[in-house]
């Protein structure tokens, strides 16, 4: 009972709504070009869903519906048409069944003998239909991703390595320590701890608009991640439901990268106005904390 109470308090605080402010932000340095907008606005097809199903893994833990990827793949010839009609209803109406956003959260210990709720990683297990929808939207999103994100962002980007930033940061600070011009050098470290867990939905909507995402596609993205309900699993039993919190899904991860990039652009412009300039001798180190997602 004590663990249940402490977990409820901890996760309600961790995932509570935050205030936001994007007023008077500078114009985006990059926005979606017309070709990308057209790609996002194009009609979805059964073939896209079929492709998502074909590349699904097999031994993935099921969500609240108990349906595994293996079941979906093995019986797709039977359930494929009905599943597509259900997904198509969401794509056309922009409304997702609330039951599809009910997620189980498994707490994985970070340490040998966990005592506090903060000693656990929360792993989200989503409903199978939701997973397919999320991957469907993610495939569209990835096609336009590199058109907006700078080369400094390496975490979670295919073909880029997080190790590069660790090595680069080491070299930069070594240079700043021993350089004859070190009195004129400054490094800024922005702590974004829990940013992934506390991004306000209104902020997400504004960031999508900030980069020029089409309204309909933006609404589909936000509908997928907005207001899910989590059921924390304690000793194998679903103990509680938490609403109004973020869904630990890879779609949200990429949206957070957009938010991070928008914030970086704003800080760069603000710094320039007060006389702080990026050195042409150095590269930026722009990164996000690692999140273990289910």
What is the domain partition of the chain in residue ranges? 2-273
pLDDT, average across residues 133-137: 91
Residue 16 confidence (pLDDT) above 70: no
- 12-16, 92-96, 144-148, 203-207: the lowest-pLDDT one: 12-16
Q: Which CB contacts under 8 angstroms, 24+ apart, belong to 264-272?
A: 264/150, 265/26, 265/28, 265/29, 266/25, 266/26, 267/188, 267/190, 269/26, 271/188
Instruction: Return the pLDDT at 254.
Output: 58
* Other residues' Cβ atoms within 10 Å of the Cβ of residue 16: 11
Residue 238 confidence (pLDDT) above 70: no
Query: What is the tens place of the pLDDT at every residue in 189-231?
Result: 766 655 555 667 777 788 888 888 999 999 998 898 887 777 7
Q: What percent of the chain has pLDDT over 70?
A: 61
Which pTM does this prediction carry? 0.72
Q: Which residues contact 119 (CB under 8 A, 6 or more apart)?
A: 109, 110, 111
Q: pLDDT: is 154 or 113 the higher one?
A: 113
Instruction: Return the pLDDT at 289.
Output: 36
What's the mean pLDDT when you consider all of the chain? 75
Instruction: Return the pLDDT at 133.
Output: 93
Coil/strand/helix, residue 229: strand
pLDDT, average across residues 232-257: 54
Instruction: Return the pLDDT at 24.
Output: 64
Euclidean distance between CA atoms 22 and 200, whole angstroms: 11
pLDDT, average across residues 36-48: 94
Euclidean distance between CA atoms 215 and 225, whole angstroms: 16
- Assign 242 a pLDDT band (cuts: 50, 70, 90): very low
* Other residues' Cβ atoms within 10 Å of the Cβ of residue 134: 20
- 115-129, 154-168, 241-255: the lowest-pLDDT one: 241-255
Phi, psi of 109 (to 5 degrees): -60, 135
- Assign 93 a pLDDT band (cuts: 50, 70, 90): very high
């Amino acid at each position: 009972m004590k663990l249940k109470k402490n977990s409820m308090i901890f996760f309600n605080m961790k995932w509570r709504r935050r205030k936001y402010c994007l007023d008077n932000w500078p114009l985006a340095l990059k926005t979606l070009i017309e070709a990308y907008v057209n790609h996002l606005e194009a009609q979805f097809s059964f073939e896209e869903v079929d492709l998502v199903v074909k590349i699904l893994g097999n031994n993935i833990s099921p969500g609240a519906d108990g349906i595994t990827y293996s079941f979906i793949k093995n019986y797709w010839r039977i359930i494929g048409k009905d599943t597509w009609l259900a997904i198509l209803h969401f794509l056309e109406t922009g409304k997702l069944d609330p039951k599809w956003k009910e997620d189980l959260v498994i707490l994985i210990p970070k340490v040998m003998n966990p005592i506090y709720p903060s000693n656990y990683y929360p792993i989200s297990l989503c409903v199978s239909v939701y997973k397919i929808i999320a991957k469907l939207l993610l495939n569209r999103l990835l096609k336009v991703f590199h058109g907006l994100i700078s080369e400094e962002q390496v975490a979670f980007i295919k073909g880029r390595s997080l190790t590069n930033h660790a090595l680069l940061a080491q070299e930069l600070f070594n240079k700043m320590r021993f350089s004859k011009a070190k009195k004129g050098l400054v490094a800024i470290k922005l702590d974004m701890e829990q940013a992934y867990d506390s991004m306000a939905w209104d902020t997400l909507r504004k960031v999508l608009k900030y980069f020029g995402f089409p309204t309909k596609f933006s609404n589909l993205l936000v509908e997928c991640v907005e207001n899910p309900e989590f059921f924390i699993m304690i000793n194998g039993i679903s103990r509680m439901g938490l609403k109004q919190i973020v869904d630990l899904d890879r779609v949200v991860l990429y949206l957070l990268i957009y938010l991070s990039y928008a914030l970086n652009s704003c800080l760069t412009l603000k710094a320039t106005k007060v006389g702080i300039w990026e050195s042409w001798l150095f590269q930026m180190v722009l990164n996000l904390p690692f999140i273990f997602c289910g």
